[in-house]
Structure 1
Amino acid sequence: MIFREVEDRDLILRARRGSVEAYNLLVSRWEKRIYNYLLRLTGNRDDSMDLSQDVFLKAYQGLGKLEDPAKFGSWLFRIAHNEAYSLLRKPKSEGEPGEPKQAAAGWGTLLPIETSLAVERALGRLTEDQREAVLLKVYQGFKFEEIAEVLDTPVSTVKSRVYTALETLKEILAPVRSTP
């Protein structure tokens, strides 16, 4: 891991005092993770880009309310979670052009394309709650306690969702894994 010259906590304190430069640095550190998380939730690049902007605007406006700067990451993902589910709850108009699910974007460099597509399809078969818990745990590297904060759910429920989802994924992907 690369040593960060200035920690997020210090940037938050500077941003609270009005430093736009400090906040822009925070955004640059977190924007890719937030965008990818939103992309996997919504499956739509345009929606994910718009939501990312909304997340960082709301975070900037609410920075003074953040009680513990050490929890900036989980706080930011909680905002992203809320924004995504607000969008997903809105009914789509019939004539609205949609973009097909593209949640596998960016995985091509990590896995062969066939495996990547199989994993995406398998993730799509999970419940929304399970999928989001797995995305936060596996792809974002959050601890169970952090996921519980993001989802506003007890830690035991988060653990159950992750373990159940991983077992389901193992079953779904078993034929893919055994293919030469």
Structure 2
Amino acid sequence: MIFRPVEDGDLIERARRGDVDAFNLLVSRWEKRVYNYLLRLVGNREDALDVCQDVFLKAYQNLRKLDDPARFAAWLFRIAHNEAHSLFRKRRPESAEESEQATGMAVAVGGAGILPLELSLAVASALERLTAEQREAVVLKVYQGFKFEEMAEILGCPVSTVKSRLYTAFGILKTRLSPIESGGKR
């Protein structure tokens, strides 16, 4: 007997017919990617976990509204995008100074090189200094591997806007991270 891997489309159809186990399989396939995406957007584990649960609850409740099962990933990440932005709207905006104190970390590199942890922290700090739109575009492209068209669908904007956000963000990241590449020398 030969088993073929169960495709997302098959699981979606089964879940639409009320098969909770099929939806649970979808959750287990996608929860790590959605959680990591949300963690990079919202900035802390507790909020990312809460929002991730909300995303899958909304996905389950609205699965019948998904027109094309082949677009499940973009549809799911659009829900995650919307839920993260709902959380941002509920929060009171921080002042720029508070935000810098919370996330700001100087990228100071000695001549001995940089450790992987220091590099990760420097990248995280540089990402935090991007606008929310730029950061989200970078996360979708670099960390999640979405195509421009999928990103445009998730973000609800034209492909040209996605490309512009990425171009600007990569320029900022290059400037912020160049001291690391040059060993702290400019």
Shorter-chain TM range is 0.7 to 0.9
Normalised TM-score (structure 1): 0.86
Match of 1:117 among 121, 133, 140: 121
- Identical columns (%): 70
Letter in 1 for 2:149: E
The number of aligned residues is 163
Q: Paired residue for 2:83?
A: 83
Q: Paired residue for 1:36?
A: 36
Letter in 1 for 2:51: L
Q: Paired residue for 1:176?
A: 180
Residue 20 of structure 2 corresponds to residue 20 of structure 1: yes
Deviations 1:57-114 (A, max 9, x none): 0000000000000000010000001001101111349xxxxxx76xxxxxxxxx8101
Q: Paired residue for 1:68?
A: 68
Letter in 1 for 2:88: L
Letter in 2 for 1:141: G
Counterpart secondary structure, 1:118: helix
Q: Give 1:163 shift.
A: 1.4
CA distance in 2, matches of 1:155, 1:84: 21
Q: Paired residue for 1:158?
A: 162
CA distance in 1, matches of 2:162, 2:143: 15
Q: Paired residue for 2:97?
A: none
CA distance in 2, matches of 1:133, 1:178: 26
Residue 16 of structure 2 corresponds to residue 48 of structure 1: no
Counterpart secondary structure, 2:37: helix
- Structure 1: give runs of 5+ residues left out of the alignment: 94-99, 102-110
The alignment yields a C-alpha RMSD, in angstroms, of 1.9
- Higher Rg of the two aligned structures: 2
CA distance in 2, matches of 1:69, 1:54: 20
Residue 150 of structure 2 corresponds to residue 146 of structure 1: yes
Normalised TM-score (structure 2): 0.83
Runs (4+) off by over 2 Å: none
